[in-house]
Chain A
Amino acid sequence: MKRIGIEKINLYGTSLFLDQVKLAEARGKDPDKVVTDFLIDVRSLNPPYEDTVTMGANAAGPMLTEEDKSSISMLIVGTEGSVDFGKPISTNIHGALKLTPNVRNFETKHACYCGVAALDTALNWIASGLNRGKKALVITTDFSRMHLNTKEEFVMGGVAAALLVSENPKVIEYELVKKGSWTTNVYDTFRPSARHEVGNNEISLFSYIDALEGSYADYVKQCGNSIDFDTHFSYINYHTPFPAMSFQAHRTLCNIARPRKKAEVKESFQKKVFPTLLYSRKVGSTYGASNFVGLCALMESINTLKAGDRVGFFTYGSGAIGEFYSGLICPEAQVTIKSLNLDGHFDSRREVSVEEYEMIEKIRESYIENPNFAPDFSILDNWYDAHYRDRGYLVLKEVKDFYRTYEWS
């Protein structure tokens, strides 16, 4: 069977961040408890001239050479934060990246599963041979809606990931025949309108664990029921609605394999899971990009990562689906990740105060379903001039009669 996986990867974690401790203090909450409960240090935040289109393009743009662009004949964008109910944002991004016209493009939606749904479609297309040597560009991009003064306010965020998927993987090669799926019909968290992101957190966490158990059992079955959980995976990357959820996920699988004390689970978690959380702690909720944010974090955190190390992945999409799958680290993975300078990207973001954050969220809210607006590029002490101008980022220039115009800075 062909080796198929990710040849190139990049993340875009927006250009602003909000400190969770300062938010907790402003809301009268215990800052230590907020950080410990969710394991988020800062959350990402978009200025009003960015959206899921710009985030996706800003993740993909820097990693693609002209040769890459000419080799792409499929573009799939996963999101639950599209800017239109009919026109897919894959078309906006296709135009912004100046890909060739002979590209199949579409958008995938399934809450936080949208990104892996897009990836899996690309992997299967290549595995089928119908790609005829061509590559797929998979992007997943999402951003939370306004949640001022709600209990959910501490698990918001947003990030985009771009993946060049091919039969020449240099980051991770997926084990396509090993995959477990589990579906149920549940209302846990959902977006019933362009403004609302609603649901029941407890139902969602319960459903997440049901989906983890169900998809992992299916994965084990696909592997011939012969897995020793403690030795099969070098690392495990769990979907992170918030990073702390990954501890509960790992505890669940550890105890299915063999009931054990919390201290033993913690030791295994620190070694196999904690390294996947480096960037989600700087982003907050990672939505559809979760497994890719975790993969980049793992490659950046573990200098001793070896070719062939097996990584288990759990993806969860509210509604709901869980999938458990795995991949093998490629020999070139660490060279690839170091070349991205992701730490530099995250460090270049501007901190916003709680007051600035509230202002930005209210401006963004006023744009929803608004047929005419032009973002103010002077806000935040001319952050556009300081960070964007002449640096080649895609931004939203204006919306006129609902037509959206984007331009590179």
Chain B
Amino acid sequence: MTKERVIEVIKNNIIENLDDLEVDDIDPQKSMKDYGANSLDMIEVVSCSMRELKIKIPRSELADIANIDHLADKFMDYVDK
């Protein structure tokens, strides 16, 4: 699993859960909040992405992550295990 693929999964789940967004609009260096996501939207994006990637991470470890790229890094730690 490449990091690019993980970012693609996260991006797809962001556009599934937020209105008026295209995959190409999303910059991984930004936070989901920058695209109008509230806390519950972020929970859903994380839940759907973990399910798709078949990984399980304590969500409480994810709350301080600054942007989509860092979230992908955290996912990669578990994908590789």
Closest to B56 in A: A213
Residues from chain B with a CB closer than 8 A to the CB of A245 are: 40
Q: How far is the CA of A171 from the CA of B14 in the complex (A)?
A: 43
List CB contacts (< 8 Å) of B33-81 with chain A: 38-40, 42-44, 46-48, 51, 58-60, 62-64
Closest to A251 in B: B44
Residues from chain B with a CB closer than 8 A to the CB of A392 are: none
Contact B44–A248 (Cβ < 8 Å): yes
Contact A37–B59 (Cβ < 8 Å): no
Q: How far is the CA of A248 from the CA of B17 in the complex (A)?
A: 12
Q: How far is the CA of A274 from the CA of B36 in the complex (A)?
A: 25
Contact B63–A37 (Cβ < 8 Å): no
Contact A244–B59 (Cβ < 8 Å): no
List CB contacts (< 8 Å) of A163-209 with chain B: 184, 186, 188, 200-203, 205-207, 209
Interface of B: prevailing SS: helix
Closest to B38 in A: A37
Contact A244–B58 (Cβ < 8 Å): no
Contact A200–B63 (Cβ < 8 Å): yes
Contact A255–B38 (Cβ < 8 Å): no
Closest to B42 in A: A202
A210 in the interface, Cβ–Cβ < 8 Å?
yes
* Minimal beta-carbon separation of A258 from chain B (angstroms): 12
Q: 12 A–B contact pairs at CB < 8 A? A: A184-B58, A186-B60, A202-B39, A203-B64, A205-B39, A206-B63, A209-B47, A247-B40, A248-B44, A251-B44, A255-B51, A259-B51
| Other A-B pairs beyond A184-B60, A203-B60, A205-B43, 8, CB < 8 Å | A203-B64, A206-B43, A206-B46, A207-B59, A207-B60, A209-B47, A245-B40, A252-B47
